[in-house]
Structure 1
Amino acid sequence: MPTQTQLRKQDDDSDWRSIPWQLKPAIKQITPRAIIAGLLIGSVVLISNFQFGLQTGWVSMMSLPSALLSFAIFKNLSKSLSYQFTDVENVFIQSIAVATGTGPLAYGFVGVVPAIEKFLKESESGTGKLIRFSLTDLFIWSTGLAFFGIFFAVPLRKQVVVKENLPFPSGSATATLISVLNNTEVHHDLHENKTNRLPHEYNDLLLSDESDDSISTDSHQSHDSNTRSNSTDTTIVAPTTTTTEASPLLESQNIKAVNNDKSYNENLKSLTLTFTVSSTYTVASYFFPLIRNIPIFGSHLNKAYLWSLQPSPAYIGQGIIMGLPTVSYMLFGCVLGWAVLAPLARHLQWAPGPIDDWKTGAQGWILWISLSVMVADSVVSFVVVTVQSLYKVYQRWDEKHNTAITGSGSSSKEEETEVAAEYLVGTKTVVIGLVLSSILCIATMVYLFGSDIVPVYCLVIAIVLALFLSILGVRALGETDLNPVSGIGKLSQLVFALVVPRDHPGAVLVNLVAGAIAEAGAQQAGDLMQDLKTGHLLGASPKAQFIAQMIGTVWSIFLSSIMYKVYNQVYQIPNDVFRIPTAVIWIDCSRLVTGEGLPPYAFEFSVAFGLIFGVISLVKNIYKNNEAVKRYLIWLPSGVAVGIGIYNTPSFTIARFIGGVIAYVWMKRVGAEGKTAMIVFSSGLVLGEGLFSVVNMTLTSLGVPHF
């Protein structure tokens, strides 16, 4: 039997990796080193998400890169660690990172907030004045939106993760990656392990200090109370990766092992190289702005209809992550919008202004078609998935009811797939936290806008609606890898068009706030549920993951607010680089549902394309599991992806399409074993440009001249 020192220092498969699944929650997870690493990685992801969210509305959870980066950090520090780095600690770190990094979407900083600040008219604010948030106001806003989705997600875990065992493809893929990095197993069949006792030789790998991890329900609730003083789609504002169809990179459970030194070193070298290339391009693009806008189709098409290429490594990396089908749909939308509809609207004088003008130009005109297509696709998909999910719930209830009558219950199996109660978040914590966080949300919004402009009853309805829609969103995410936060936000806006009278002085503002609450709840609940699926497969403590979410959320409240202010201080937003298209979608949708007119013929085209893509979405969702027609469905475009292609300028879409082609060729040549290398490659491209955007921001603020 090894000594404690040997057990802590050894780096092979004979120690903590052999601990039974039920006992792994006791392994150290909530550690200072894990918290620091999670916040650092999450901060990098947050900065990246701000950069791309303000540009195109693309926001990502980045759970796979976060898991990879945390492993890489501790792999290189392994010889100096006082105790071993484990897979469940890896889970804890990526949970913090995801909670931190998705702040720009969850708190509406790439969507609702700029819509209120930059596009809301004086007559729409309810006060006759423009709304401008101070940094303190942003802290308060974010705090109000930050917590109720987390507390509401906790009780859903047992139903959708434990009992129904929904796949959550991205969460499962992250668990697979963590398992192969740490040379452990993903426990898809959790009925095998029935050990109830921990061999004493594992004791020093577990928490020896009671204060480290054994936070009681009451003490944790106290901590949460003390931290309270608050999107794009998918979504994750405008569409995030969670709003597009599931990427092939994330669907497979056949990610090959990369734990041997050769493979690990190759992947680390790839990550470093692509990060360097991406960061170098980012800084170079500041000094040589021309490389951000290459007129590959000629100067006329570039000036007249914005057809150019931005050879951004990050957008190429995003295209790799999205996969060829999704970026192909986006390219189809790009051609439809910028080569067909925009020239048509301009030629017929329906949009006579400058091409890139949101109000009078063709970009503003085709935005309505984009919005119609995305909403039709999201709503139809949402309804179909919801009906199918509810039907499955009914079937399971009926089966359970019949089983209870016959006496052959399966409750014992459910107990075997659940961890001990001490590692779960208590009911008392959930109830108190949900009530307090809901009250906090109401109080903050009343403080910011006043109860006469945003009535309390509207906020109560918004929270209740957000909780209900979060259930449906989590189920959709679990079954399809799609968290339709964009559609959820738009559905909330449609509902509040009926709740709030059109003559209410702040009808548009109320509509935006209600949508922000719905989107925040669905985003937070979905993020946590993906992480809980990852942790469940690896045996992590759900309580530890909940705490990770809280830690990341609190940090993200402050960092997200500060970064939003910094971007607006350094840049004049919107501009040619940061077009904030999601903010335009939010404000236009609010105006649409509250009765403002559309540009000439925009309504007719929007209805027509909405109906077309609504039917396509219906067919794709109904027959997605039908083997006879499933392979043909790929030729039917996704409305969300097409919508993104319509409202984003061609330069972004072309770069992403190049990434999708690279992914397709790579996978054809290398096969399934190349999936991990692809994740590493694309992660370096995205993170390099995202992080070094801070360098460009600094150069801009200092007034460094361009060449």
Structure 2
Amino acid sequence: MSDKPLPPPVVSAERNLTELTVKALILGALLSMILAAANAYIGLLVGLTVSASIPAAAVSMGVLRLFRRSTILENNMVQTSASAGESLVAGIIFTIPALVMMNAWTGYEYGPMVSIAILGGILGVAFTIPLRRALIVEAKLKFPEGVATAEVLKTGGIETDKDHPEHVHNEEAAKGFKMLLVAAGLGGLFKVLESAIGVLSSGVATIKSFLTGKYLFMGSITLSPALIGVGYIVGLNIAVLVFLGGVIGTLIGVPLNWLFNSDALMQTVGIPAGTPMSEFTDGQWSALANEAWQNCRRIGVGAMMVGGVWSLISLAKPLWNGIKTSLAAYKATKSGEGQKILRTEYDTPINYVGILILIAIVPLFFIFYNALGEYESKLMIASIMTVLMLVFGFIFASVAGYMAGLVGSSNNPISGVTIATVIVSALILLQLMGNEGMAATLGPIAVIFLAGMICSAAAIAGDNMQDLKCGHVLGATPWRQQIFQIVGVVAAALVIPFVLDILDQGYGIGRPSPLNPDATPLSAPQAGLMRDLSTGIFGAGIEWNFIFIGFALAIVLIILDTIQEKRGSDVRFPVLAVAVGIYLPLGLSVPIFVGGLIAHIIKKKTAKQSDEVKKKREGTGLLIASGLITGEALLGVLVAVAAVVWQGSVPLMGDSLMSQILGLAGLIFVCGYLYRKTIKTK
């Protein structure tokens, strides 16, 4: 937070520029769908999502400049709508795949998914409307991506008319759009050569035993430009912590687990007791290493559980203060104590927000009612779930909005909020429903429905606050942005079920694809955790030994993070970043670490440059990183479509040594391109 007064907006409250237009609505909705598909792939692959506001702003400026007239506020509306798709899909992919993974659904059911996404997303917007003034104007939080997006939009000029001399300012917009397209093409080409043709390998992995079998080594690196981009955007601190989690879970955890639990691991994979290690085949060593790693992933589960609860505890006081400030501002306006509301401070009227929430109660109830199937007391349980959604939804949406202001949307621990939701709601429903008979099956399903709704609301809340900060800097009209946010929610919700169904058939989500079993499944770490927690609490059982280790590790990290916070250090230890790293395969965390390292090196080399050069390099790096992510992700979805249409894909070279060498060379080239293109920006 800062005590400095906020600078005046780029467009003053007295000036009325075009904001809400048909072309902005159409472009925003289309981009919301596209970015939802891209983020679905990345989020399911690595368990992390990144803000799409900056690439959306660049695309908007590149497209709208083709029209005779456009304005900075119109571009802001497009990115507001487009970024909603990226955020909403996070809420869905962190939860709903659990229903398929636990065999409650045979596939991704369109009607329930669209209903959950639209209702959760719209309520996420509604819950944050009364918080806008408190968090953006009064608290003066950083909202890093919102400010960065505003800087990108400023490069396109305030108002463009091809008959007006100011049109020359749009050359910067054209340059940024071209840069994004080139990077997207590079990421997309890499994905085609890897998944569709097989010239490039998807990764390099090895499993070796040393010291006559007493030491079991398991290591890998995923060859992915998109993950380089993710690491670049989240920065070195988060990238290092994700990598540290990978080291703990794989490089340390696997050999220690084998050392102390070799007999149990051998029994699990079907190796007879007493078999000499010298007689183990490569396949048996691989099975042992994978089983040891699966055990160690539960350390990440434990750390995520504690991290989710801690994120709520640590935010209790600032959240309460924010709500009180917001209510006080509303009462002052209502009583006439305040001045006439400026255009730049005009939110959707609070009575409309209240009516919207009241109307939402009816579909909320019926969604939960239908999810409970033939359960005897489903009328009561559905009513209680509706109340829980409204109460927890507001609390967790407020948490997400506050966290977006502190650390940004890309670092927002939405999964921690969802973990807390699953644990609390599962314990409440367990007390109400029990775990006998039908309740043992329907209880976890009800929990995931509730978690999907709340997680969608929280994800959109963080994005909405980030976009409203961008609008506050630029001088946008808040109520119009809130409308565009809802447009983006609805547009994305309509395509998300199709995207997840295609990805599940093409790659498999959290499990091998029945259609394409040779493909590497998308790990979907959060959804797997939600399944384990909900079914475990309702009686399927949770193996606690490794989870307890995760509890202890989380406590240590929380203590370290608290010390660093009090010291005012930029180096922090957020639990959830380490926990996700433990839960994911090591190979995914390596390129994320490399991307964070590149960002850090560029930042150090730019430290002595002028502020203008710093801003330009920051913008260039973010656009290229975003392009790498978007290009690879979108082509990943298209490759999945091709796999579905042609009943599986057959790479030409497979996973040969040559394809691994070419893949490594290709990734090095991508890293060099990102570094050189950014560092040469003047």
TM-score, scaled to structure 2: 0.77
What are the ranges of 5 or more consecutive residues in structure 1 without an aligned counterpart?
1-16, 185-201, 206-257, 624-628
Question: Partners in 2 of 1:594 and 1:617 — Cα distance?
Answer: 33
Relative to structure 1, the CA distance from residue 324 to residue 646 in structure 2 (aligned partners, 3 Å threshold; closer, same or farther) is same
Question: Partners in 1 of 2:426 and 2:111 — Cα distance?
Answer: 30
Relative to structure 1, the CA distance from residue 154 to residue 304 in structure 2 (aligned partners, 3 Å threshold; closer, same or farther) is same
Q: Select which of 187, 203, 216 maps to 1:278.
A: 187
Secondary structure, in 3 states, of the residue corresponding to 2:70? coil
Alignment of 1:657-696 (within 5 A): 657-671=593-607, 672-673=614-615, 674-696=617-639
Number of matched pairs: 588
1:643 alignment partner in structure 2: 579
Question: Partners in 2 of 1:645 and 1:498 — Cα distance?
Answer: 27
Does residue 60 (structure 1) correspond to residue 50 (structure 2)? The answer is yes
What are the ranges of 5 or more consecutive residues in structure 2 without an aligned counterpart?
1-7, 270-284, 513-519, 608-613, 653-682
1:115 alignment partner in structure 2: 98
How far did residue 600 of structure 1 move?
A: 6.8
Bigger shift: residues 143-152 or 280-289: 143-152
Relative to structure 1, the CA distance from residue 28 to residue 445 in structure 2 (aligned partners, 3 Å threshold; closer, same or farther) is same
Question: Partners in 2 of 1:180 and 1:689 — Cα distance?
Answer: 26
2:107–2:501 CA contact under 8 A, matched in 1: no
Q: Select which of 128, 139, 154 maps to 2:129.
A: 154
Bigger shift: residues 65-74 or 284-293: 284-293
Question: Partners in 1 of 2:170 and 2:133 — Cα distance?
Answer: 38
Q: Select which of 76, 86, 91 maps to 2:71.
A: 86
How far did residue 700 of structure 1 move?
A: 1.3
* Amino acid corresponding to residue 606 of structure 1 in structure 2: G
How far did residue 586 of structure 1 move?
A: 0.8
Secondary structure, in 3 states, of the residue corresponding to 2:200? helix
How far did residue 590 of structure 1 move?
A: 2.0
How far did residue 642 of structure 1 move?
A: 0.9
Q: Select which of 352, 362, 372 maps to 1:449.
A: 372
2:120–2:457 CA contact under 8 A, matched in 1: yes
**1:82-122 alpha-carbon deviations (Å, 9 max, x no partner):** xx21111111000110112323223x2x23221111225xx
2:277 alignment partner in structure 1: none
Does residue 588 (structure 1) correspond to residue 532 (structure 2)? The answer is yes
Question: Partners in 1 of 2:256 and 2:249 — Cα distance?
Answer: 10
1:175 alignment partner in structure 2: 150
2:401 alignment partner in structure 1: 474
Secondary structure, in 3 states, of the residue corresponding to 2:221? coil
1:439 alignment partner in structure 2: 362
Relative to structure 1, the CA distance from residue 438 to residue 116 in structure 2 (aligned partners, 3 Å threshold; closer, same or farther) is same
Relative to structure 1, the CA distance from residue 178 to residue 491 in structure 2 (aligned partners, 3 Å threshold; closer, same or farther) is same
* Amino acid corresponding to residue 424 of structure 2 in structure 1: V
Q: Select which of 87, 99, 103 maps to 1:102.
A: 87
How far did residue 289 of structure 1 move?
A: 4.2
Secondary structure, in 3 states, of the residue corresponding to 1:323? helix
Does residue 317 (structure 1) correspond to residue 229 (structure 2)? The answer is yes
**1:337-364 alpha-carbon deviations (Å, 9 max, x no partner):** 1011122223414555569989992333
Q: Select which of 553, 573, 581 maps to 1:609.
A: 553
1:630 alignment partner in structure 2: 568
2:468 alignment partner in structure 1: 532
Q: Select which of 19, 25, 39 maps to 2:29.
A: 39
Bigger shift: residues 662-671 or 553-562: 662-671
* Amino acid corresponding to residue 520 of structure 1 in structure 2: S
Bigger shift: residues 379-388 or 61-70: 379-388
2:220–2:586 CA contact under 8 A, matched in 1: yes
**1:281-306 alpha-carbon deviations (Å, 9 max, x no partner):** 110002454734443767779x9765
* Amino acid corresponding to residue 700 of structure 1 in structure 2: A
* Amino acid corresponding to residue 93 of structure 1 in structure 2: V
1:148–1:438 CA contact under 8 A, matched in 2: no
2:276 alignment partner in structure 1: none
1:382 alignment partner in structure 2: 312
Secondary structure, in 3 states, of the residue corresponding to 1:706? coil
2:32–2:491 CA contact under 8 A, matched in 1: no
Secondary structure, in 3 states, of the residue corresponding to 1:460? helix
How far did residue 551 of structure 1 move?
A: 1.2
2:420 alignment partner in structure 1: 491
Secondary structure, in 3 states, of the residue corresponding to 1:23? coil
Relative to structure 1, the CA distance from residue 461 to residue 271 in structure 2 (aligned partners, 3 Å threshold; closer, same or farther) is closer
2:581–2:589 CA contact under 8 A, matched in 1: yes
1:92–1:545 CA contact under 8 A, matched in 2: yes
TM-score, scaled to structure 1: 0.75
Secondary structure, in 3 states, of the residue corresponding to 1:100? helix
Question: Partners in 2 of 1:18 and 1:163 — Cα distance?
Answer: 16
Does residue 342 (structure 1) correspond to residue 332 (structure 2)? The answer is no
RMSD of the alignment, in Å?
Answer: 3.7
Question: Partners in 1 of 2:205 and 2:586 — Cα distance?
Answer: 11
Question: Partners in 2 of 1:297 and 1:414 — Cα distance?
Answer: 67
Bigger shift: residues 49-58 or 489-498: 489-498
User: Percent identity of the aligned residues?
Assistant: 21
**1:633-663 alpha-carbon deviations (Å, 9 max, x no partner):** 61x5331111121111122111111111111
1:371–1:585 CA contact under 8 A, matched in 2: yes
Question: Partners in 2 of 1:448 and 1:140 — Cα distance?
Answer: 12
Q: Select which of 640, 645, 661 maps to 1:697.
A: 640
Question: Partners in 1 of 2:485 and 2:329 — Cα distance?
Answer: 35
How far did residue 388 of structure 1 move?
A: 4.0
2:296 alignment partner in structure 1: 366
2:98–2:531 CA contact under 8 A, matched in 1: yes
Question: Partners in 2 of 1:337 and 1:19 — Cα distance?
Answer: 48
How far did residue 270 of structure 1 move?
A: 3.2
Question: Partners in 2 of 1:416 and 1:426 — Cα distance?
Answer: 14
Relative to structure 1, the CA distance from residue 183 to residue 299 in structure 2 (aligned partners, 3 Å threshold; closer, same or farther) is farther
2:496 alignment partner in structure 1: 560
1:510 alignment partner in structure 2: 446
2:5 alignment partner in structure 1: none
How far did residue 469 of structure 1 move?
A: 2.5
How far did residue 259 of structure 1 move?
A: 8.4
Relative to structure 1, the CA distance from residue 378 to residue 415 in structure 2 (aligned partners, 3 Å threshold; closer, same or farther) is farther
1:706 alignment partner in structure 2: 651
How far did residue 571 of structure 1 move?
A: 3.8
Relative to structure 1, the CA distance from residue 313 to residue 154 in structure 2 (aligned partners, 3 Å threshold; closer, same or farther) is same
Question: Partners in 1 of 2:533 and 2:289 — Cα distance?
Answer: 14
Secondary structure, in 3 states, of the residue corresponding to 1:307? strand
Relative to structure 1, the CA distance from residue 341 to residue 695 in structure 2 (aligned partners, 3 Å threshold; closer, same or farther) is same
Relative to structure 1, the CA distance from residue 522 to residue 357 in structure 2 (aligned partners, 3 Å threshold; closer, same or farther) is farther
2:669 alignment partner in structure 1: none
2:304–2:576 CA contact under 8 A, matched in 1: yes
Relative to structure 1, the CA distance from residue 653 to residue 359 in structure 2 (aligned partners, 3 Å threshold; closer, same or farther) is closer
Secondary structure, in 3 states, of the residue corresponding to 1:308? strand
Bigger shift: residues 54-63 or 259-268: 259-268
Question: Partners in 2 of 1:438 and 1:385 — Cα distance?
Answer: 27
Does residue 541 (structure 1) correspond to residue 477 (structure 2)? The answer is yes
1:384–1:618 CA contact under 8 A, matched in 2: no
1:116–1:509 CA contact under 8 A, matched in 2: yes
How far did residue 133 of structure 1 move?
A: 4.8
2:304–2:419 CA contact under 8 A, matched in 1: no
Secondary structure, in 3 states, of the residue corresponding to 1:49? helix
Secondary structure, in 3 states, of the residue corresponding to 1:637? coil
Relative to structure 1, the CA distance from residue 414 to residue 278 in structure 2 (aligned partners, 3 Å threshold; closer, same or farther) is farther
Does residue 332 (structure 1) correspond to residue 261 (structure 2)? The answer is no
1:291 alignment partner in structure 2: 200
2:187–2:226 CA contact under 8 A, matched in 1: yes
